[in-house]
Amino acid sequence: MLMKIPFGTMSIPQKSKELIGEILNSNRVSSGRYVREFEKKFARLTGTKEAVALSSGTDADALALAVLYDFGAKRGDEVIVPALSFVATGNAVLQAGFKPVFVDIDRKTLNIDPSRIEGVITEKTRAIMPVHLMGKPADMDAINKTAMKYKLYVIEDAAEAHGAVYKGRNIGTLGDMAAYSLYVAHIISTIEGGIVTTNREDFAEILRSLRSHGRACKCEKCVMNINSGYCSKRFKYGGADIRFIFERIGYSCKMNEIEAAVGLGNLDIYEQILGKRRKNLISMMKKFKKFSPYLATIEEGPDEKIGPHAFPMIIQEGAAFTRNQLVDFIEKKGIDTRDLFSSMPTQCPGFAFLNYKMGDFPEAEYIGNHGIHIGVHQDIGDEHIDYFIDVIVKFLDKYA
């Protein structure tokens, strides 16, 4: 019997629906008190002092980087990123005005290879942006050691790493800032949306300015439309209205109240969602081991917890079948798949102007040609996992 296993799902709890009704009836749908409430609760969840909500995970990456201009960075400076990631990582570096410098990955972890980072550092390097791909923590000890040696900032791309833990510490607390995606398929979702976490109040103030065109008016109450009364700071610029003074080149990427309402509902059931997805991921990783040496996936180390975003599969060297054959077979059985991203500098034509050439990032390119991933979301149960494993058995019986 054919069973449908979609890649993602969307939880919109009753609390969110009630809040959305209140927001629509109030006619105040732009960023306001519900966005601020979501920020505070997200910060508590990750264990950081500050969280600044934005309109997408890509904006979260870009604005976290743009903060660095207030601390000496110049346009055209360099940011080190892994070659393998969703293209948003590289796009955000460019959108922030920096040049991405790519580093190959470790094929077993899918994350940046720390041993290769030092070799690409130049006098123009300002930051390292590791990606916790598929929710698996990057080697943050090694990355932070290199960053400290060269006085570089570390910004975690934690887009897929909700709930991930590295050596007893939450992902999102291991660098200067962390950027999360809150897209529909993620553990905590606001439909679209992103958020930056940090322990530095000055970074958070700049982020609030950046998301609103670079405004000088950036205290928590004013920028969230919480306080419509008199503000003693309003005319501190010698008579000019602080709301229309722009201190820096900014963006327009605020989260709205309706998105925050969905996020608040998801935060209320976060532990439930996380637990279900982790159960699914651990079960799939355990049952998938028998498909070696044809197929492999990531493994969870003793000092980490993988954030259960999705389940990656990599066709191993020497296998007698192609990725297209695998995808075609399991999609016809109702299992929704996605490619496991690409080597941004060599397999994404948009980055061709940087003049990298095929073969520069062999590990990332291998994943780009041989990797896929499927969902582990909260609407999947044991019966779906058993069905998936049975489909892979049938595929290997035919092709291997």
**What tens digit of pLDDT does each residue of 22-31 get?**
999 999 999 8
Do 262 and 305 sit in the same domain of this protein?
Answer: no
Domain membership of residue 7 (yes or no) is no
Residue 5 lies in a domain: no
Q: What is the pLDDT of residue 400?
A: 83
Sole residue written with tokens 């290769």: 116
Same domain, 283 and 202: no
Q: How does DSSP assign 341-388, residue by residue?
A: -EEHHHH-GGGGGG---TTSSHHHHHHHHHEEEEE--TT--HHHHHHH
Q: Taking the model in full, what pTM does it have?
A: 0.95
What CATH number has the domain bearing residue 192? 3.40.640.10
For residue 2, is it within any domain?
no
Are 197 and 302 contained in the same domain?
no
- Given this model, what pLDDT does residue 245 score? 84
CATH number of the domain where residue 294 is located: 3.90.1150.10
Give the pLDDT confidence of 205-251 residue by residue, as tens digits: 999 999 999 998 766 665 545 555 556 666 666 667 777 888 999 99
Report residue 190's pLDDT band, with 50, 70 and 90 as the boundaries: very high
Regarding whether 331 and 233 lie in a shared domain, the answer is: no
Are 334 and 240 members of one domain? no
Average pLDDT over the chain reads: 95
Give the tens place of pLDDT for each residue, 302-328.
Answer: 999 999 999 999 999 999 999 999 999
E-only strand ranges, 50-112: 50-54, 78-82, 84-85, 99-103
- Residues of the chain with pLDDT > 70, as a percent, come to 94
- Residue at which a domain ends, from 204, 237, 267: 267
> Among 215, 237, 267, where does a domain finish?
267
For residue 1, is it within any domain? no
User: How many independent structural domains does the chain possess?
Assistant: 2
Gap between the Cα atoms of 142 and 88, Å rounded: 24
Looking at the structure, do residues 161 and 126 belong to the same domain, yes or no?
yes
Residue after which a domain boundary falls, among 218, 233, 267: 267
pLDDT in tens, 1-59: 899 999 999 999 999 999 999 999 999 999 899 999 999 999 999 999 999 999 999 99
What is the model's pLDDT at position 229?
56
The answer on 104 and 32 residing in a single domain is yes
Query: Is the domain of 260 the same as that of 317?
Result: no
282 and 185 fall within a common domain: no
Judge whether 186 counts as a catalytic residue.
yes
Same domain assignment for residues 38 and 56: yes
Band (pLDDT 50/70/90 cuts) for residue 335 is very high
Task: Examine residue 4 and state whether it is found in any structural domain, yes or no.
Answer: no
Considering the domain architecture, whether residues 66 and 119 belong to the same structural domain is answered as yes
The pLDDT tens digits of the residues spanning 247-304 come to 999 999 999 999 999 999 999 999 999 999 999 999 999 999 999 999 999 999 999 9
Q: Which of 132, 162, 186, 384 is catalytic?
A: 186
Q: Specify the DSSP class assigned to residue 107.
A: T
Task: Write out the residue range of the structural domain in which residue 117 sits.
Answer: 14-267
C-alpha gyration radius of the chain = 22
